[in-house]
Amino acid sequence: MRYIRPLVQTDPARPEGALTLAGGWCWFDRVELLTRDAPPAIMPAASLTAEELAPLTAPRAALAGLSMDAPRVMAILNLTPDSFSDGGLHAGRELENALALAEVGDMLDIGGESTRPGAEEVAVRDEIARVVPVMERLRAAGCTAPISLDTRKAEVARAGLAAGADMVNDVSAMLFDPEIAQVTAQAGVPICLMHAQGSPETMQDDPRYTDVLLDVYDHLAARIVAAEAAGIDRARIVVDPGIGFGKTMDHNLALLGRLSLFHALGCPMLLGVSRKGFIGKLAGEDVAAERMPGSLALAVLAAGQGVQLLRVHDARETRQGLRLAAAQWGM
């Protein structure tokens, strides 16, 4: 099998014949050809077949009313007592903080279950009790920002969608609770399918891959097929390589280094690296809340590779960084 990674550019000196990536702000005129049994090779994009080019160049459909022609900030609101970075931070101030995040982010991502390494599963009733009242209060307060519900569970997704959520963000890619596919399909909303090896309780014990980049790609391709079989249109599917979910430092860096490969799946991409442990290890910063600079750097680099959705804790800072980068890209 041939895996085709566009060599993405944002330089204003765009050569004649260069192709626009996914209808967005980046372009490419060369690709890296990857296989499992031969060294990588660089080739002109013009040598690809129409079938190979189509997923790379086709504009991505809008998600929950957001166009995918610019990088979008997904602001994290963790309604959990034990999330790795901000557990318990919003207790007693959920509505106030959510409304503030909605002012600076393009979308809110609200979750009631921590999926940090070692986290234990939260009961359905408890997860619903954490997220649904906040969503209902947000909508009652007039908040119109798109809301993504971060959950692995069909019952939670059903309750959250009824309370005003616009999208499901499933870190298990519908494997933890397969019924979540039907719930999403019936609601007609987008779903984000993330790669994870193992469960949060055990995923960092000893993650192994034959080729992490291609293994993650194949897994996401298979989950897209499963979502389509359940009645979810590909235009409503988002993919996330799952940085930090069953990956070592080397695995994370390999995925980030060739992130643009996942555009070949033909779906918008979401990236969640904000404040994660590998940033702390590289930067020498043990305190998760102090990892904003590294998180911002990776967000801007990812946007430069055409990533459409950036899931972040520091929404205001990320938006500012993206505006500066976009000015250099001619946006």
Q: Which residues are catalytic?
A: 276, 311
Closest to 223 measured CA to CA, from 213, 212, 237, 211:
237
The beta strands (E) that lie in the chain are given as 3-6, 19-20, 27-28, 30-34, 41-44, 72-78, 107-111, 147-150, 167-170, 191-194, 237-240, 270-271, 309-312
The helix/strand/coil state of 95 is: helix
| CA–CA distances in Å: residue 178 to residues 111, 114, 173, 181 | 19, 20, 9, 6
The rounded distance, in Å, linking the Cα atoms of 291 and 217 is 28
